[in-house]
Chains A and B, each alone.
Chain A
Amino acid sequence: MISVWDYVISFLVGGFICFLAQILVIRTKITTARILVLFLIIGMILEVFNVYAPFKEFAKAGASVPIIGFGASLARGAIMAAKEYGVIGIFTGGLTAAAGGISMAIFASFIVALIFNSKTKRGGH
């Protein structure tokens, strides 16, 4: 079940996506928020055109860990729910699919912010 190839391909594909993003950062001095939104939308477009599923089959975590996977799961959730429940599904499907990630990010950030105090910034975002 566990194969070394999965890790190699995850490393290579995930790294390559970050490599492309870094080229954008160097060329255009794009900000963090813009770059996240850009790759989120790329993920959605891949999902709408049914390219994401075979891509994930090939790249494993290299496709699902980058923000592209987050966008794709939002889009997939909305499309599936739209097919199943009609118009109401359009509005409920997306966030339902992404609820785990968003809830965990907000909850963990809130708890962490209550516990820790800010350090002196050393670069970062």
Chain B
Amino acid sequence: MDKNKRNQNYNLYVESKVPKTKAWPSLFKAFLVGGIICAIGQGLFDLYSYLFPNLAESEVTTCMLMTIIFITCLLTGIGIYDVVGAWGGAGSVIPITGFSNSISSPAVEFKKEGIIYGICVKMFTIAGPVIVCGVVGSIVCGFVGLFI
């Protein structure tokens, strides 16, 4: 049997063994989880606007996001957010909770490798690209902003 044929057969075999993501249920779950997280965010936003009426809307939004980020880190540490992530798919990634989880999850996971080389280095394995693209993109936007 030549090499190409064997590789092709192997790929077919892998394809048949990989668990299929059932399309419609997973879409529905992502919608539900993402929607609930956003509704919780709206609840916190209303709570903070009520508690601190002097703050500007953007500052209330920042407070709300920071609260969500903190809660997600805590839930990741306890091990609950992994369950939400496995169930909700992209619904747990796209809200700011996904960004928070992408930092705290490897931090907890690689704790055994030490504080510097474990926690501090591995913290940015997924969030690193997000922060780099964020900074580079914001500088590009700033240049654009200079001319409009």
Contact = CB atoms under 8 A, between A and B. Distances in A.
A91 B77 CA distance: 34
B141 A61 contact: no
Contacts of A65: 37-38, 41, 64-65, 68, 95-96
Contacts of A44: 137-138, 141
Contacts of A37: 129-130, 133
B55 interface: no
Given A86-B146, A112-B74, A100 B141 contact: no
Given A10-B41, A48-B144, A18 B46 contact: no
Contacts of A113: 77, 104, 107-108, 111, 119, 123
Nearest to B74: A112
B97 to A, nearest CB: 8
Secondary structure dominating the interface of B: helix
A97 B23 CA distance: 37
Given A21-B90, A105-B73, A95 B135 contact: yes
Contacts of B50: 1-2
A5 B107 CA distance: 38
Given A37-B129, A86-B146, A75 B137 contact: yes
Given A82-B146, A90-B143, A101 B70 contact: no
A74 B38 CA distance: 20
Interface in A83-99: 83, 86-87, 89-91, 93-95, 97-98
Interface in B36-61: 36-39, 41-43, 45-46, 49-50, 58, 61
Interface residues of B, number: 84
Contacts of A90: 139, 142-143, 145-146
Contacts of B139: 78, 90-91, 94
Given A18-B91, A90-B142, A94-B142, A12 B35 contact: yes
Nearest to B22: A26
A21 B39 contact: no
A112 B123 CA distance: 12
Residue with the highest number of chain A CB atoms closer than 10 Å, among B37, B39, B61, B76: B39
Interface of A: 1-2, 6-7, 10-19, 21-26, 32-37, 39-41, 44, 47-48, 60-62, 64-67, 69-71, 73-75, 77-83, 86-87, 89-91, 93-95, 97-98, 100-102, 104-106, 108-119, 121-125
